[in-house]
């Protein structure tokens, strides 16, 4: 089935900033995709093209929209089911190492919309169509990792570390797991109100609370209390995303006090020994390789590379060779095409790593990543708190997928 029409427009993401949405048509079939945007972005990510003009404070994406429209003549007639062919053509047309000519946001909008249109041409749910592209051995419903306390760039308070998550790693199904998360979230809300007042339950970019605390221990104590009070001790565990690149300068990590690289390794080990932490993402600055290696060797838990890896096969190979981490955070907009994102996941899984599919802080109502997580069978999805429509839509999509799959549904409990 050939592509017959391409459209693009500027829409708003969950932070009120512009992003790009793309439509791909193949005859009577239409696929639409909206591209997310990050707040704390790695320096090695593919380039997100912004206008840099007065409107929207320089964050407009009209240039990216125009680039998609100008590509229409080159895309019409292409086979909408040839995902790799489409993605490789877009990469070649751009011709830059980081997709800075067309913009990774423009390229990804096309790439995702092509996949969604192809799934309709094939008369398959998106997750089943994506499964045919991934090389995975099975589809699985992922464990949700939900950011319920926000710090860093997501909140604007004194808490330097960015995300404190809860994960129902021992639930029996996705629906049961999201129930555990929602119940714990509301218990946490009550604890925060009682301790800090109603003004402390304002939420950050990803729906997590931002209480007036300034240490990771204070955040982790709140999570521990909420989990226990909700009755999920031993079933719901804790994960962290310090996003350490955001508080690293002059060879020091600046939190409530300053830490050297060696001191940070020991600090994390203290937290791991004290709290039920199963995963830590970006514990160090994105090019601070030796502490990554040391913590991965010592911790005995999942150490996830986000800014370290930026979903880039070259960075993943470097980290595999150096043993800097043992899991990939997969963000499709970090690399810019679906084909490259799948290759990054495949490289990670084939080398014994875990993979966690992830949203961005500037999200849309597009649920593409929920289907992708199921198709990869990777077992983990990070999509924010069970709050705000751009987060809950991903979780609700997974509930529907689990219901649709019936006996075939497998939940990736740990």
Distances (CA, A) of 178 to 181, 207, 242: 5, 15, 23
How far is it, in rounded angstroms, from Cα 199 to Cα 193? 8
If you average pLDDT over residues 238-255, what whole number do you get?
95
DSSP labels, 30-72? EEEEE--B-SS--TTSPPPP---STGGGGT--HHHHHHHHHHH
Q: What is the DSSP string of 236-282?
A: SEEEEE--GGGGEETTEEESSSEE-HHHHHHHHHHHHHHS-EEEEE-
> Please, what is the average pLDDT of the chain?
96
* Helix/strand/coil for 411: strand
Give the rounded distance of the alpha carbon of 171 from its chain centre: 21
* Domain endpoint, select from 123, 146, 172: 123
Q: Residue 7: how many CB atoms within 10 A of its CB?
A: 16
Whole-angstrom distance, CA of residue 266 vs CA of residue 278? 17
Residues forming a β-bridge with 34: 21
- The Cα–Cα gap between 166 and 60 comes to 34
User: Which of the listed residues 68, 93, 123 is the one where a domain comes to its end?
Assistant: 123
Q: Specify if 203 maps to a domain.
A: yes
Give domain status of residue 414, yes or no. Answer: no
Across 348-376, average pLDDT? 97
Does 184 score more than 70 pLDDT? Answer: yes
User: What confidence score (pLDDT) does residue 40 get?
Assistant: 59
Give the span between the Cα atoms of 313 and 319, in whole angstroms: 10
**Residue 158 confidence class, pLDDT cut points 50, 70, 90:** confident
- Mean pLDDT across 122-142: 97
Residues 119 and 36 in one domain: yes
150-164, 250-264, 288-302: which range is least confident on average?
150-164
Report yes or no on 229 lying in a domain: yes
Domain limit, last residue, from 123, 150, 169: 123
Tell the burial category of 145 from Cβ atoms under 10 Å away from its Cβ (0-12, 13-18, 19+).
buried
In a domain, 129, yes or no: no
298 domain residue, yes or no: yes
Name residues whose C-beta falls within 8 Å of residue 190's C-beta, 6 or more positions apart in sequence. none
pLDDT in tens, 324-359: 999 999 999 999 999 999 999 999 999 999 999 999
The domain tally of the chain equals 2
Q: Residue 7 and residue 137: Cα distance in Å, rounded?
A: 35
**pLDDT (average), residues 248-271:** 96
Same domain, 40 and 144: no
Spatial separation of the C-alpha atoms in residues 368 and 113, rounded to whole Å: 10
**The residue to which tokens 């991934």 are assigned:** 134
Phi-psi region of 384 (alpha: psi -120 to 50; beta: other; left: phi over 0): left
Identify the CATH number of the domain in which residue 146 sits: 3.20.20.120
What is the average pLDDT across 129-139? Answer: 97
Q: Measured between alpha carbons, how far is residue 224 from residues 127, 164, 166, 190 in Å?
A: 34, 11, 10, 14
Q: Which residues are part of the catalytic machinery?
A: 206, 331
pLDDT at 42: 65
Structure tokens at 104: 């990774």
Q: Residue 231: inside a domain, yes or no?
A: yes
Give the CA distances from residue 359 to residues 154, 278, 334, in Å, rounded to whole numbers and listed in that order.
Answer: 13, 20, 11
Q: How confident is the model at residue 202 (pLDDT cuts 50, 70, 90)?
A: confident
pLDDT at 41: 66
Quick one: pLDDT band at residue 195, thresholds 50, 70, 90?
Answer: very high
pLDDT for 157 equals 72
Looking at the structure, tell me whether residues 142 and 208 fall in a common domain.
yes
Q: DSSP assignment, residue 323?
A: T
pLDDT surpasses 90 at 199: no
Mean pLDDT computed over 281-286:
97
Question: Is 225 among the domain residues?
Answer: yes
pLDDT of residue 409: 96
Asked if 108 and 35 count as a contact pair (C-beta separation under 8 A), the reply is: yes
Q: Which residue has the tokens 């069978």?
A: 377
Q: β-strands 143-150, 327-330: how paired?
A: unpaired
273 and 392 share a domain?
A: yes
Residues 141 and 262 in one domain: yes
Output the pLDDT for position 84.
98
Contact 339, 83 (CB under 8 A): yes
Least confident interval from 8-17, 125-134, 193-202, 231-240: 193-202
Tell me: pLDDT of 156 over 70: no
Task: For residue 347, count CB atoms less than 10 angstroms from its CB and return exposed for 0-12, middle for 13-18, buried for 19 or more.
Answer: middle
Are residues 30 and 72 in contact, defined by beta-carbon separation less than 8 angstroms? no
Helix axes of 389-405 and 174-196: crossing angle, nearest 10 degrees: 150
pLDDT at residue 155 greater than cutoff 80: no
Identify whether 128 is part of a domain: no
Mean pLDDT of 148-152: 92
Mean pLDDT of 35-47: 81
**Are residues 364 and 218 part of one domain?**
yes
Indicate if 179 and 108 belong to the same structural domain: no
Residue ranges making up the domain that contains 26: 5-123
Tell whether 282 and 309 lie within a shared domain: yes
Cβ neighbours around 4 below 10 Å, total: 17
The enclosing domain of 55 has a CATH number of 3.30.390.10
Please report, for residues 3, 87, 158, 232, 306, the alpha-carbon distance to residue 105 in angstroms, rounded to integers and kept in the order given.
Answer: 20, 13, 32, 40, 18
Residue 3, pLDDT score: 98
Domain shared by 245 and 388, yes or no: yes
Q: Is residue 154 pLDDT above 80, yes or no?
A: no
> Is 114 in the same domain as 259?
no
Q: Are residues 186 and 334 part of one domain?
A: yes
pTM: 0.96
Is residue 140 over pLDDT 80? yes
Q: Are residues 218 and 265 in the same domain?
A: yes
């Amino acid at each position: 089935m050939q592509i017959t029409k391409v459209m693009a427009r500027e829409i708003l993401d969950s932070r009120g900033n512009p992003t790009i949405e793309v439509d791909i048509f193949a005859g009577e079939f239409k696929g639409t995709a909206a591209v997310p945007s990050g707040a704390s972005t790695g320096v090695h990510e593919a380039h997100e093209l912004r206008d840099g003009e007065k409107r929207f404070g320089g964050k407009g994406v009209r240039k990216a929209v125009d680039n998609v429209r100008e590509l229409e003549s080159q895309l019409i007639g292409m086979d909408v089911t040839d995902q790799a062919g489409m993605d490789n053509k877009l990469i070649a047309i751009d011709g830059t190492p980081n997709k800075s000519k067309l913009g990774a946001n423009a390229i990804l909008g096309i790439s995702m919309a092509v996949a969604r249109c192809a799934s309709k041409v094939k008369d398959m749910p998106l997750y089943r169509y994506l499964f045919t592209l991934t090389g995975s051995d099975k589809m699985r419903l992922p464990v949700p990792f939900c950011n319920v306390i926000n710090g860093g760039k997501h909140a604007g308070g004194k808490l330097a570390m960015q995300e404190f998550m809860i994960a129902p790693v021992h639930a029996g199904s996705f629906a049961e797991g999201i129930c555990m998360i929602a119940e714990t979230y509301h218990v946490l809300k009550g604890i925060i109100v009682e301790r800090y007042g109603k003004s402390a339950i304002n939420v950050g970019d990803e729906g997590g609370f931002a209480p007036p605390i300034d240490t990771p221990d204070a955040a982790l104590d709140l999570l521990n209390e909420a989990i226990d009070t909700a009755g999920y001790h031993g079933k719901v565990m804790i994960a962290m995303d310090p996003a350490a690149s955001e508080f690293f300068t002059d060879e020091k990590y600046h939190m409530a006090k300053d830490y050297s690289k060696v001191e940070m390794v020991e600090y994390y080990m203290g937290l791991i020994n004290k709290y039920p932490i199963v995963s830590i993402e970006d514990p160090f600055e994105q090019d601070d390789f030796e502490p990554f290696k040391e913590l991965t060797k010592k911790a005995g838990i999942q150490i996830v590379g986000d800014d370290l890896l930026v979903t880039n096969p070259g960075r993943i190979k470097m980290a595999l060779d150096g043993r800097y981490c043992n899991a990939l955070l997969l963000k499709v907009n970090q690399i810019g095409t679906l084909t490259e994102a799948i290759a990054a996941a495949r490289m990670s899984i084939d080398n014994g790593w875990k993979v966690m599919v992830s949203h961005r802080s500037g999200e849309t109502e597009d649920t593409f990543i929920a289907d992708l997580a199921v198709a990869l069978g990777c077992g983990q999805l990070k999509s924010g708190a069970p709050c705000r429509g751009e987060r809950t839509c991903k979780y609700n999509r997974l509930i529907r997928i689990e219901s649709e799959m019936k006996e075939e549904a497998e939940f990736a409990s740990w």
